[in-house]
Amino acid sequence: RHGGDVAAVVVRDGDRGRGLFAARDVAAGDVVMSVPLAAALNDGVAAPPYDGAPWSVTLAAAILAERRIGDASRWAPYVRSLPTDVVGFANDEGLFDDASCGASSSSSSSSSQLAAEARALASHDAAAADELDRYRSLLTRSHAALTSAGRAPAPPTFAEWRWAMSMVHSRTFRLEEPAAGVAGFETRRVMVPYVDLLNHDSRANVWQCEWDCEWDLGGGGGTFVVTATRDVRAGEEVLVSYGERCDRHFFLFFGFLPAPNPHNTVALFANAREAAAWYEALCDDGEEVRDAWARLRADAVRTVRKEEKSRAAAAAAAA
């Protein structure tokens, strides 16, 4: 109904699960898929469900609203095509045991195992713990806002909300749309039918396609375009990069770990003090070395304090 062209690919199950495979040979520079943004679900199709709602909440609420409409929704085929399972370990029901948010009081053994793995990650990775805590807070607070009096005619259950938010955080593309009537751009998040079946690889020598948007500055909207960056043989899975992210992000929000992942990072020390203590212990050759470290630390403290006083004096003079 909206046009577009996805004839160069077919849906098939592969090593990465369901994905898109080349239906024919594709040359570098060829357009693999093009989908008008009019066919995409985005965070501008509906008003935020409450004041201050972030884009993910707005888009998740829109998904559930369209699903409730059923076949009468313009996005009905796309909404029906979405996975029925919750995606990402950050959305696992075992992480939400607070009855006030509508979570189940008991979890399945598989769910409990996933939750245990997520908690184990957080216990060994401060960044993971912080990211998980912030996301859990977003889920529970946004659900509470949606279910408060007068927010929605049929507020979602917490299970429905976890599902919708997991779809948003695992299948959304970020675009910079030219702002209407003014210079600059407006950030837009979109869920693009068919295109969101593209699977990921972290290695630049493996993925073969990139995505972008072609804008009609005359007011005709835009088209989401996937282009081959190198030749793709018929039958080969069409892959893109979801971004240069570490394993933590893929684990929490996508439910898989890229193997290998050249962009993976691990925090060895919580702060510079821990790193310095480790290095001092590594280089400890006796009392003389420890005295030298003490002098270096004292010099560093004096330097920092001197710089702080200079900045304070400059700020006072400028006030």
Domain segments of the chain: what residues? 9-254, 272-318
Residue 240: strand, helix, or coil? strand
Query: Is residue 49 a contact partner of residue 38, using CB atoms and an 8 Å limit?
Result: no
Q: Name which of 97, 129, 95 is nearest 111 in CA terms.
A: 95
- Does domain 9-254 fall under CATH 3.90.1410.10? My reply is yes
Query: Is residue 207 a contact partner of residue 200, using CB atoms and an 8 Å limit?
Result: yes
Residue 125: strand, helix, or coil? coil
- Predicted TM-score (pTM) of this structure: 0.77
| Cα separation, 255 vs 244, whole angstroms | 16
What string of pLDDT tens digits covers the 319 residues of the chain? 556 899 999 999 999 889 999 999 999 999 999 999 999 998 988 889 999 999 999 999 999 999 999 999 989 999 999 999 999 888 888 877 644 455 544 445 555 666 676 667 667 777 778 888 899 999 999 999 998 856 656 789 999 999 999 999 999 999 988 877 667 788 899 999 999 999 999 888 889 999 999 988 766 689 999 999 999 999 999 999 998 888 888 888 998 888 888 888 877 777 778 888 887 777 766 777 778 878 888 888 888 888 888 888 877 776 5
Q: What is the DSSP string of 181-239?
A: TSSSEEEEEEE-TTGGG-EE-S-TTT--EEEEEEEETTTTEEEEEEEESS-B-TTPBPE
Query: Is residue 151 a contact partner of residue 144, using CB atoms and an 8 Å limit?
Result: no
Residue 41: strand, helix, or coil? strand
